[in-house]
Structure 1
Amino acid sequence: MLPVLLLLALLAACSPAPRQVPDLPGWGEDRLAEAIPPFLAGCRPPRFPAALCAEAAGLPPGDDAAARAFFARRFTLRHAGEGLMTGYYEPELRGALTPGPGYRTPLLGRPGDLMEVDLGRFAEDLKGRKILGRVEEGAFVPYPDRAAIEAGATDAPVLLWAADPAEAFFLQIQGSGRVVLPDGSVRRLGYAAGNGRRYVPIGRLLADRGEIPREQVSMQSILAWLEQAGPARARALMDANPSYVFFRETPARPDQGPTGSLGVPLTPLRSVAVDRAHIPLGSPVWIVTRHPLTGAPLRRLVLAQDTGGAIRGEARADLFWGWGEAAAGAAGRMKEKAILYVLEPAAP
């Protein structure tokens, strides 16, 4: 037995030690107590051990030192790599319950004929892959694209009527938002389903065509172009993105963000959308990037609580900025390099 123990000791001594959480750039500067409530919202077995969630729930509120010690003690690091960090927000747009002058753009609910097929049930090598479509004349076919849906090729119910087609388009890109009715009341819409078509960024199309310099492409510059282009050209550009999003009404407190893919409300600057094939939902993620408006270092702990059609890759992420004009201004301009570290529960 002694030689075996000696060999194990030698192997352990030769193995490189994993990077410790406190070594992260900016680790001592973040107000980590702010990350505890959103972490607890998604902390449950089997995603995390029950004991770990109970320990987090027992931390003193607002105690950054205690939160910092908790994450350092209970997690190890995995370097996800360097990638692109964009931003998103919860838009607010004008709408009405019925169509009328100034309210002509429908916001659609999930259609009854939209079907999702799990290909893994048919072939082992397709496990994890899904497709969306509908049945026509006994055959399963792709669901109509954006242009066809807007021309009436769906039985989707109309939830609300928007005042601005461009605002409705960006509501689909963001995946959720608040619709302010003429009487001042607010209806909140969340993502219900997509049509399964490939997402095409219209900002990239405008850059390729020389309409907007590539380095100046942002949500704000795209909206300005759509407004100046006129209805026909604007509609043609938006239809060049065949992806379409259907909504559902989501009751939520006005002081909370929309519900993300994890099923919990998103928290401004603490929630991030990721590719769940590479980063499990619920995971704490340390991001090293910079502020899109000031250029100041932006290094903080966020929670992987959402996904997105354009978020693909090991180190691709989309930071949730909240709602309102300030959030829209920052989110629309964020296109920064970022380094991501995933915090994974340490072995007992």
Structure 2
Amino acid sequence: MAWWARGGLAAILGSLAACSTQPPAPVAPRPGPPAAVPAAPSAARWVVADWQELPGWGSDDLPAAWPALLAGCQRPAPGWAEFCARAALQSPADGFEATLLLMKHLRPWRLAGEGGDTGLLTGYFEPQLAASRTRQGAFQWPLHALPADAALRRLPRRDIDTHPRFTALALAWLDDPFALLQLQIQGSGRLVTRDAGGAERISRVAFAGHNDQPFESVAKALLARGEVRDASWKGLSDWARSNPAKVRDALAVNPRVVYFREEALADAAQGPRGAQGVPLTPGRSVAVDKAFIVLGTPLWLDSTEPLSTTPMRRLVMAQDTGGAIQGAVRADLFWGWGDDAALQAGRTKQPLRLWALLPEGMRP
């Protein structure tokens, strides 16, 4: 049971009812009118809400969300500097303090789009893949750096696979063509290689660009031809191992190729940087449509656990974007890296409601 289910919530809501209508004492003088969120497209509706309306408010482990919130404050959106200063100076010791701070200085707004206030939650992750620095054995699938030559960069996948100049651009080689495709779709990942002495090394590869070709679903094409019945990543990888002579033609259905740059992994506990420019936090960072939601905005997420009716209600931060993430009530939850994260991400596809938490005085 949440801590305030034993009597704390009513007291907090009552004590803050008056505070919610008055601007908090400023950390420092700030001239000018209250900040405003950039105007959202007309299809979005923002409805001011009360804290009691947020399903499950009080059940979340808010201190667990605080690192993601502080990460977002490294690059605060306009109007957020004052709150971020408070959050950094008043790091909450427990859930009570965290909730009090949020309720005192922020205000919830319910998001709705063309289809109403219910949208879609999906998930994504950072693949962690075995790789080789040289082409050898099963490691035959190259991961390329961005070509400096613009004409070379725009070649479709089929031409890239056979072009001799791309050999020198290989950052590493993978042993699974569909793991490479998965990495290109996710946009970043971790490579696990071994040096000459056999020591394991983990590095990160991040999105560096693509070849400006359209994206086509390889899985959809294989399903349409009856080549596969299981279009999961495991099912596609199993098909590739059983049909090595068909793999290149299957991949060529998708002419788009994503290029990468390699980065040192200074902290293995940190996720990749999202579109906001800060590291993503597993279970607490989401990708949103920035036409509707400003990056760096805290959101209250109301959905269910993957493949379950168990409620999933938590504070998340809008810290990334994605080409398929479109609409006001739409979010893609970052699950982390490795096999468990991949499993959770693949299972995440359920109804969603969202509330944005904005500083007092800020209007969407």
TM-score band by shorter chain is 0.7 to 0.9
Rounded Cα–Cα distance in structure 2 between residues aligned with 1:340 and 1:28 = 16
Return the letter of the residue paired with 2:137: P
> In the alignment, what sits opposite 1:41?
71
Rounded Cα–Cα distance in structure 1 between residues aligned with 2:228 and 2:300 = 33
> In the alignment, what sits opposite 1:86?
122
Instruction: Confirm or deny that 1:102 pairs with 2:138.
Output: yes
On the 8 A contact 2:177/2:237 being kept in 1, the answer is: no
Q: What RMSD, in angstroms, separates the aligned Cα atoms of the two structures? A: 2.7
TM-score for both structures, normalised by structure 2 = 0.75
Unaligned residue ranges in structure 1 (runs of 5+): 1-15, 115-133, 137-141
> In the alignment, what sits opposite 1:5?
none
Cα displacement (A) at 1:207:
4.8
Helix, strand or coil at the partner of 1:57: helix
Rounded Cα–Cα distance in structure 1 between residues aligned with 2:291 and 2:165 = 31
Rounded Cα–Cα distance in structure 2 between residues aligned with 1:113 and 1:343 = 45
> In the alignment, what sits opposite 2:186?
174
Cα displacement (A) at 1:19:
0.9
Q: Write out per-residue CA displacement over residues 188-245 of structure 1, whole angstroms, 9 at most, x where no aligned residue.
A: 11111122333333344445556666xx7544444444444x1243333333223321
Rounded Cα–Cα distance in structure 1 between residues aligned with 2:83 and 2:309 = 36
- Judged with a 3 Å threshold, the aligned counterparts in structure 2 of structure 1 residues 84 and 167 are, in CA distance, closer, same or farther, namely same
> In the alignment, what sits opposite 2:272?
258
Counterparts of residues 212-231 of structure 1 (less than 5 Å): 218-228=232-242, 230-231=243-244
Unaligned residue ranges in structure 2 (runs of 5+): 1-45
Helix, strand or coil at the partner of 1:240: coil
- Judged with a 3 Å threshold, the aligned counterparts in structure 2 of structure 1 residues 189 and 62 are, in CA distance, closer, same or farther, namely farther
Cα displacement (A) at 1:61:
4.0
Q: Write out per-residue CA displacement over residues 125-157 of structure 1, whole angstroms, 9 at most, x where no aligned residue.
A: xxxxxxxxx5x9xxxxx9233333323287582
Cα displacement (A) at 1:321:
0.8
Rounded Cα–Cα distance in structure 1 between residues aligned with 2:272 and 2:47 = 40
Match of 2:109 among 77, 86, 96: 77
Rounded Cα–Cα distance in structure 2 between residues aligned with 1:209 and 1:70 = 56
On the 8 A contact 2:125/2:336 being kept in 1, the answer is: yes
> In the alignment, what sits opposite 1:200?
216
Helix, strand or coil at the partner of 1:33: helix
Rounded Cα–Cα distance in structure 2 between residues aligned with 1:17 and 1:171 = 38
Helix, strand or coil at the partner of 1:181: strand
Instruction: Confirm or deny that 1:189 pairs with 2:202.
Output: no
Q: How many correspondences in the alignment?
A: 305
- Judged with a 3 Å threshold, the aligned counterparts in structure 2 of structure 1 residues 331 and 57 are, in CA distance, closer, same or farther, namely same
- Judged with a 3 Å threshold, the aligned counterparts in structure 2 of structure 1 residues 144 and 341 are, in CA distance, closer, same or farther, namely farther
Rounded Cα–Cα distance in structure 2 between residues aligned with 1:52 and 1:300 = 20
Match of 1:242 among 224, 249, 255: 255
On the 8 A contact 2:77/2:295 being kept in 1, the answer is: no
Cα displacement (A) at 1:162:
1.5
Q: Write out per-residue CA displacement over residues 74-113 of structure 1, whole angstroms, 9 at most, x where no aligned residue.
A: 2331414432222111111111122222222111112213
Q: Write out per-residue CA displacement over residues 317-339 of structure 1, whole angstroms, 9 at most, x where no aligned residue.
A: 21111122211111122222222
On the 8 A contact 1:22/1:72 being kept in 2, the answer is: no
Helix, strand or coil at the partner of 2:118: strand
Q: Write out per-residue CA displacement over residues 289-317 of structure 1, whole angstroms, 9 at most, x where no aligned residue.
A: 22224442211111111122322232232
Rounded Cα–Cα distance in structure 2 between residues aligned with 1:164 and 1:194 = 20
Rounded Cα–Cα distance in structure 2 between residues aligned with 1:83 and 1:220 = 28
Rounded Cα–Cα distance in structure 1 between residues aligned with 2:215 and 2:154 = 14
On the 8 A contact 2:92/2:98 being kept in 1, the answer is: no
> In the alignment, what sits opposite 1:163?
175
Rounded Cα–Cα distance in structure 2 between residues aligned with 1:66 and 1:298 = 22
Match of 1:150 among 145, 148, 161: 161
Counterparts of residues 292-307 of structure 1 (less than 5 Å): 292-307=306-321
- Judged with a 3 Å threshold, the aligned counterparts in structure 2 of structure 1 residues 202 and 24 are, in CA distance, closer, same or farther, namely farther
- Judged with a 3 Å threshold, the aligned counterparts in structure 2 of structure 1 residues 101 and 209 are, in CA distance, closer, same or farther, namely closer
Return the letter of the residue paired with 2:98: A
> In the alignment, what sits opposite 1:345?
359
Q: Write out per-residue CA displacement over residues 9-37 of structure 1, whole angstroms, 9 at most, x where no aligned residue.
A: xxxxxxx9821244211111111122221
